[in-house]
Structure 1
């Protein structure tokens, strides 16, 4: 593996033939949270997302809308895909489009390189093709049609008839990499995660790999094969290469050396492309394979995978317009075990918003700030002698920070949030147990009251730092309310791996009024 210290992480590049749904948003905020965590930990971080704009499906969608393919993708990206990043508070470093010249030129260089190295040959191909998947389907994903498609072969994923294609194409010698791939999976057990995904890929590769058709000659919406302009490069080969072209492959050697290799987070339905074809292509080019591929599960609505074609697609704005972007990010990243399928329901979202965000975290923040304003004229008091209960809070904070960082290293964002949430629960219990409102009635308890409220405020300081990659808006409001921006600097500058240290918040700092972080909402299904 590379000795590069860069943390380079990517989303899949999305196929913008339709507008984004919450499944796309789920992947993007997960990658953004991982990137924010590493960035705020001082790691040399780079986050890439983008759109995959070539292929037959895009060509047909453009024709159906009476525009050119380029006009079609330009409209979709401008009106739907760029705005999604703002809607969900995504802080990506780059956005690549496969129709950009920088990408097209570098893809041709890569394909030419593996052609020159003897890994591409000409041949004829006849197979069943799914336009929806943009893929020649393996036997395991071809089923007999029913109903209106009875007597036809259909795609097991899209349930739509497959097309029999017969073309003279160029082929990549994927079959030659079977043993090298199996050795990679053996020597780098974390290359594919979670384990269920790893096992699936190993089983697939052991069953035998066939050479891959990497060009199409039946249409021209794509990147030209450099040695034969009658062909365009297969859309999946074009798309996979974005991860390398975006960081300078073939043009900016210094940038490429700094960033590559990457971590890829993908939906499990495109795992094989990323864990089999992509590393084989890199091996063929003499380049390092990715650092790792993490396959997350599907979002299910009413028991079905999120899909526009099946009318289960929900736009992110349908949620953010009601609950806000922080709640969107928190819900999907905490309610679903990352790497597993998860079900979405409005009822569950509303219940978690109320219980965990409004009543749990939000109420903790507002009442702590309010009590400092009421009992100490808005100035954070100093702590005096710590009791066993106070020290227990300090231990919980330190452990939560360490456990959350370890969970992020495993790409388990849900486990990281669960660790951080132990602070919320502990502080709410701590305030209930210590009753600062009762302590305030007797001047003799003044020092104890100060210790209790400093403990609560310092716990909130740690929460603001730890939760900022997940919920950047509400934590920024809390940070400002604690007066921490003036005494400690901006929230994104706080070293995240040191968030569990105790005594960072400066006594004497003036707090500011805090509006409810998570206001009551009237959720509509």
Structure 2
């Protein structure tokens, strides 16, 4: 029976600046889950891309002395380059300036308009150009006669004609879907739970505050104050605002409006990965628009936290922005991929610490896994003529090793299904520690003289453990685990998760081992 297809997305990244660690982090989580699902027999569609319209981009292009299209071409390429630098396996890279995306936005707008879900009115309020957002008076602070948004961006009073989406109609339905039990086909699952509670409370409060004026909850979806965007069909003085334009990318890439497109089978998305700052857009505005258009909303939105740098908030003014490209150049790609998902529970805020990174890379990768592989494979080279020993079955003293190994795949699968990346890595490395304890206790180097049959069995069990770890860690560290699988002689066609059930033949020739990880000098930290 074929496993269900999987659709995973990153947010599309705004092109008013170059990529930073937050962009790499979101895409890395998406990439790891996509790779794992492919290894586990699923057909996967993994989407990322760039958000290229709006007033901020128009202004940034002007400040750079460039045409907006030329500006977005240049900056978007930096995000595309990041996918290569970080080893991401995305199946598509979408840009909102592409003709296919403009066509999808126009099609969705027309459907919503025909259904009476969009109407023309006027919008006024305190608007921050930098944030492309309106703020209520109670959210503002004032200094030297200038009002500021909570983000620190200055605001100005704006009144302009605007089209509105009837969001108020759909909020009760969203609340119903938030509260459906896990596994229900109509549930909109918001993770982590703290974000679900935040979104739910926000919607409930809005419904309570504006019970007598529900139109106050409707969403402004067009602008006339700038021109860099998708034109509203039939009224080209207006451009579509970010809620319609950017969010539509997820269905554009799936072939919308052609529901016979081969990729449409992937919709609805299984997980939208987003930063916590845009969780409301993805859990309120986006599903409401989809439902209003007669389309299914995404099954889950997972909002991760933010990074600080050595305990400080990251900002350009402090000069402590973390460049993922620089990290990769210094530490190597796979160690960086590993650390980012190992260090912090996904969904929580975390602190980037060089000391912590060095400790994890040395202690867990080099000392625990690297040393286990080198000891095991060197012993096979010296004592078994470089050939895989026979599987002589399990003895009582093998029970502790296999207690974790036998359930490892299913445990990791369940943890990744919940996007608990750090727990999956913790589980794997707990088993690695068990294997290191096992090799020390069994001492196969001493068994060669006293019990060579037992020595061969111990080395075979350690080879089985290494194969399991290498297979399950491929999504996190694809290049290094490919090298380890080469060293333990697993053929390319036998590296999927299902292949773990098919042991390698006795006598398989193993190449000489080579170091997998380099230790980092602590004085450089």
The answer to whether the superposition gives a TM-score over 0.5 is yes
How much has 1:402 moved relative to structure 2?
1.3
Gaps of 5+ in 2: 183-187, 208-216
1:436–1:449 Cα contact (<8 Å) kept:
yes
Q: Is the 8 A contact 2:164 2:222 kept in 1?
A: yes
1:242-266, Cα deviation, whole Å (9 max, x unpaired): 0011110113524354110002011
RMSD over aligned CA atoms reads 1.9
Contact 1:383 1:452 in 2 (8 A): no
SS at match of 2:391: coil
Measure, in 1, the Cα distance between the counterparts of 2:511 and 2:498. Answer: 26
Q: Write out per-residue CA displacement over residues 75-102 of structure 1, whole angstroms, 9 at most, x where no aligned residue.
A: 1122x21111111110001110001111
Kept after mapping to 1: 8 A contact 2:231/2:240:
yes
Distance 1:264 1:498 in 2: 30
Task: Specify the alignment match of 2:113 in structure 1.
Answer: 115
User: In the alignment, does 2:443 pair up with 1:452?
Assistant: no
The alpha-carbon deviation at position 64 of structure 1 amounts to 0.8
Distance 2:191 2:338 in 1: 22
Q: Deviations over 1:39-73 (max 9, x none)?
A: 11111211000000001111111111100111111
> 1:422 Cα shift?
2.0
Q: Is the 8 A contact 2:327 2:336 kept in 1?
A: yes
How do 1:35-434 residues align onto structure 2 when only pairs under 5 Å count?
35-78=34-77, 80-138=78-136, 142-145=139-142, 149-157=143-151, 159-188=152-181, 191-208=189-206, 210-262=217-269, 263-308=271-316, 310-434=318-442
Question: Quick one: structure 1 residues 389 and 156, their matched pair in 2 at CA, closer, same or farther if it must change by over 3 Å?
Answer: farther
Q: Does the Cα contact within 8 Å between 2:309 and 2:322 map onto a contact in 1?
A: no
Instruction: Please report the TM-score for the alignment, with normalisation by the length of structure 2.
Output: 0.93
Deviation of the 1:385 alpha carbon: 4.8
TM-score (normalised: structure 1): 0.93
Equivalence for 1:496? 497
* Superimposed CA distance per residue, residues 416-462 of structure 1 (whole angstroms, 9 cap, x where no aligned partner): 1111112211111111111122223x1x4111110111111110001
In the TM superposition, residue 166 of structure 1 has moved relative to its aligned partner by: 1.3
Q: Are the equivalent residues in 1 in contact too, given 2:126–2:137 (CA < 8 A)?
A: no
Q: Distance in 2 between the 1:330 and 1:179 partners?
A: 41
CA shift for structure 1 position 4: 10
Alpha carbons of 1:402 and 1:246: their partners in 2 closer, same or farther (altered >3 Å)?
A: same
CA distance in 2, matches of 1:139, 1:349: 43
Per-residue CA distance 1:462-483 (angstroms, 9 max, x = gap) = 1111100111011000000111
Q: Distance in 1 between matches of 2:105 and 2:387?
A: 59
Tell me the number of residue pairs that the alignment of Structure 1 and Structure 2 aligns. Answer: 508
**How many Å separate the matches in 2 of 1:376 and 1:514?**
14
For residues 480 and 280 of structure 1, what CA distance do their matches in structure 2 show?
49
Q: Pick closer, same or farther for the CA change 1:357–1:139 going to 2, 3 Å.
A: farther
Q: Is the 8 A contact 2:251 2:267 kept in 1?
A: yes
Query: Closer, same or farther in 2 for the Cα pair 1:308/1:14, shift >3 Å?
Result: farther
CA apart distance, 1:109: 0.5
